[in-house]
Structure 1
């Protein structure tokens, strides 16, 4: 029953492995996944709440029940983040291996403890004005009546906010370098259709895609190294995340190497702007197709705000927050979380061998009618405190949970609650492309085609 409890299954012999679909020799279930990545998990869910599947060199289970998802996300001693070593070895790809996304164990704990203060609410309050300025500047650049691709525009916006607030540098010519790298990483993670064929070839094979990827990442690496060198040359001029990482080199308790700093910059510059850009894209797609909700956001912005939003105003923007949360439910930017059982364990009465990869598909769990009435419909009222309290923990987890919960969660929600009301008051965005675009599961969930809208300034 939606918003209630559900029996998680009776006890069973823990020697038993979870059920799942039959696969092909060597390929396992790869062909089913490649054919329709997101639909594949809908098919898996028909086997139960914990389902076995296989891919080349990878034994995995997909988990669909909030109780078991919570066990995985909170069970740090039993489950670690999967760092894709098998795929890296097979394909000879390595992306920011010493960044926060791929480190594990004690090294990850040190990094997280070191970086967390930069994302605290007190620190974030000081960058509210940067979010307002960047949003107003973007609107000023739009011509009245122009047709724009909002996914591209929001990517420009969130990258500007990130670089100005966390790294304190102007993008200039670097924008295209970062954007190109983000595009190539998205393509690298796209395992649908023909993309999967090329993806299965090692990075040294001189395919068109591999050459393009290498060129983009070489330029990105060079840009990041230049940023580090520039900051070293002028250490007293800045107070940002990069400066903090560099200054700590003399701290004997924890010191970051150049490689770590380099990989953290890559992680934050790519993941830190693209996820929020997609959240904004799908939020505005939903608002454009639900004018009543858009009217409520606009009304709230006009009554709760005297001018541009500030950090102190955000608690009053309850309608905006519910709209953003509902968009994150229907279109969670990460799409799926990945873990690995580091020791043999039991989950839901099934045996989970050590080394098993654990897949937590947010886009499937978030649209399960056991937890959400009419789950395919856009209903921001689901996120009133009363209704949220009735749902199981981890029926909704767009930012993950447990120790590895997204470090940028508060930053992202703060961005959404600044940008949405400013746009609602300043422009009408008329949808001119499909109201129901196909979605690709890449590094983040992406519309398969640009979401195009016409600007009508107020």
Structure 2
């Protein structure tokens, strides 16, 4: 996929609005998006690197050039994360509004400053044993010759790791409640086909999807409240993220409200496990169809490591890191980032009006042949240091960038570099599903059908 040249609009009058496809009255480009959400952005890219599109009550610009993506992600004060206020008003529901994902401005800065120490590299090293134990337990439960659904297996695994490391509680009876809430959130964000029609109906309309969503989220809210109450009753027994949120006061005398704590728990429990689960799913899908790359991973796992990886081993797992990064290039877990212009500005030679929503489609930019040779091919060697330095900074941004870069980025990469070698040492996974599955753009990128594999124990 090749866009127009980034510099083609550099001499444009900044009063000019970006080009884009024609839309329908009221609906704008909604019908084109619903037809094929990911393909829609390929169509937009044909208009250039800064492209206008419209949806009901939403004026948007999609950005395809790394330089302009950097302008947006680094442009604090000009761009903020879009918190979907227009959709909240239209649909009459919201998810964790006081969580780190949707707060803005000074409120977000206070929260980020408060939470950041929990995700420091020194603290993360202490989670290594939990990652190893959960992964080895999962692999031990697989029988030789068994057929497994890897997206489900990895979802359970990453949720277990998250709850045991960041929140120090046994998943146990809570697993089904959290998993069902995650599934319903994914479904609510599905804008393809009939899902888009249902999504545009307010939450009080008693559709099957709305009822499922309400039931799942009510149960999840109750579970989160129970966890908070239990932790308050036994504060001295724990040293984890939840305890820190309940008790800590930072150096600016800031403490979290119960509403913030509740919404942070929801944010981390849902987003913190599902993104990594999808990264693992698509990584093994790609490895199953690229035996040479799988062999390189297996060789590293058996020669660099004497057993399960430790935190100290991770810098030496260069093949593992490249495999994970390349998988996230082709299948970035988030898929699409959202920002909003909070003042009138200029981007790529075009005028961007205040309130314009900015769409940053990772899955399109990551497969642009201006930055990646044979972009549809799985080639981990792209991420050798000498080759990565040749690309613009934001040609690859699976964790976002700038002040709002994913707070769990190092945690996620640490998970991937523990889990991949353990599986590579212990089993071989043969693909039973389609090697090129359809992908749904939901809360995270999801395979439209389960990814099934056959286990062969080593």
Offset from partner CA, 1:212-267 (integer Å, 9 cap, x none): 10000000000000000000000000010000001126987101000000000000
Give the match's secondary structure for 2:389. helix
Contact 1:332-1:363 within 8 A present in 2 as well: yes
Q: Report how far residue 140 of structure 1 moved.
A: 1.0
Q: Report how far residue 45 of structure 1 moved.
A: 0.1
Farther-moved stretch of structure 1 (8-17 vs 85-94): 8-17
1:96 maps to which residue? Answer: 96
Q: Report how far residue 401 of structure 1 moved.
A: 0.2
2:219 maps to which residue? Answer: 219
2:446 maps to which residue? Answer: 446
2:20 maps to which residue? Answer: 20
Structure 2 Cα separation of the partners of residues 129 and 173 of structure 1: 23
Residues 174-253 of structure 1 aligned to structure 2 (within 5 Å): 174-248=174-248, 253=253
Q: Report how far residue 93 of structure 1 moved.
A: 1.1
1:352 maps to which residue? Answer: 352
Contact 1:231-1:243 within 8 A present in 2 as well: yes
Give the match's secondary structure for 2:393. coil
Residues 22-171 of structure 1 aligned to structure 2 (within 5 Å): 22-171=22-171
Offset from partner CA, 1:371-395 (integer Å, 9 cap, x none): 0000000000100111100000100
Q: Report how far residue 107 of structure 1 moved.
A: 0.4
Q: Report how far residue 303 of structure 1 moved.
A: 1.1
Question: What's the TM-score, normalizing by structure 1?
Answer: 0.98
Give the match's secondary structure for 2:395. coil
Contact 1:6-1:370 within 8 A present in 2 as well: no
Offset from partner CA, 1:122-157 (integer Å, 9 cap, x none): 000011000000000001111111101000000000
Contact 2:399-2:409 within 8 A present in 1 as well: yes
Offset from partner CA, 1:191-227 (integer Å, 9 cap, x none): 0000111111100011111111000000000000000
Structure 2 Cα separation of the partners of residues 6 and 447 of structure 1: 32
Structure 2 Cα separation of the partners of residues 364 and 297 of structure 1: 27
1:278 maps to which residue? Answer: 278
Structure 1 Cα separation of the partners of residues 54 and 405 of structure 2: 27
Structure 2 Cα separation of the partners of residues 139 and 10 of structure 1: 54
Structure 1 Cα separation of the partners of residues 9 and 97 of structure 2: 39
Q: Report how far residue 7 of structure 1 moved.
A: 3.9
Give the match's secondary structure for 1:148. strand
Give the match's secondary structure for 1:453. strand
Contact 1:8-1:65 within 8 A present in 2 as well: no
2:412 maps to which residue? Answer: 412
2:387 maps to which residue? Answer: 387
Contact 2:114-2:250 within 8 A present in 1 as well: no
- 5+ long unaligned stretches in structure 1: none
Q: Report how far residue 27 of structure 1 moved.
A: 0.2
2:376 maps to which residue? Answer: 376
Structure 1 Cα separation of the partners of residues 7 and 92 of structure 2: 44
Distance change (3 Å), C-alpha of 1:400 and 1:175: same
Residues 265-304 of structure 1 aligned to structure 2 (within 5 Å): 265-304=265-304
Contact 1:34-1:192 within 8 A present in 2 as well: yes
2:315 maps to which residue? Answer: 315
Contact 1:96-1:102 within 8 A present in 2 as well: yes
Q: 4+ residue stretches of structure 1 with deviation over 6 A? A: none
Structure 1 Cα separation of the partners of residues 249 and 123 of structure 2: 22
Instruction: Count how many residue pairs are aligned between Structure 1 and Structure 2.
Output: 456
Give the match's secondary structure for 2:286. helix
1:361 maps to which residue? Answer: 361
Give the match's secondary structure for 1:308. coil
Structure 2 Cα separation of the partners of residues 395 and 60 of structure 1: 21
- 5+ long unaligned stretches in structure 2: none
Contact 2:60-2:357 within 8 A present in 1 as well: yes
Structure 2 Cα separation of the partners of residues 47 and 160 of structure 1: 44
Structure 1 Cα separation of the partners of residues 307 and 142 of structure 2: 21
Offset from partner CA, 1:165-197 (integer Å, 9 cap, x none): 000000111000000000000001000000111
Contact 1:51-1:63 within 8 A present in 2 as well: yes
1:428 maps to which residue? Answer: 428
Structure 1 Cα separation of the partners of residues 88 and 228 of structure 2: 26
Q: Report how far residue 11 of structure 1 moved.
A: 1.3
Structure 2 Cα separation of the partners of residues 389 and 164 of structure 1: 37
Give the match's secondary structure for 1:390. coil
Structure 2 Cα separation of the partners of residues 252 and 286 of structure 1: 47
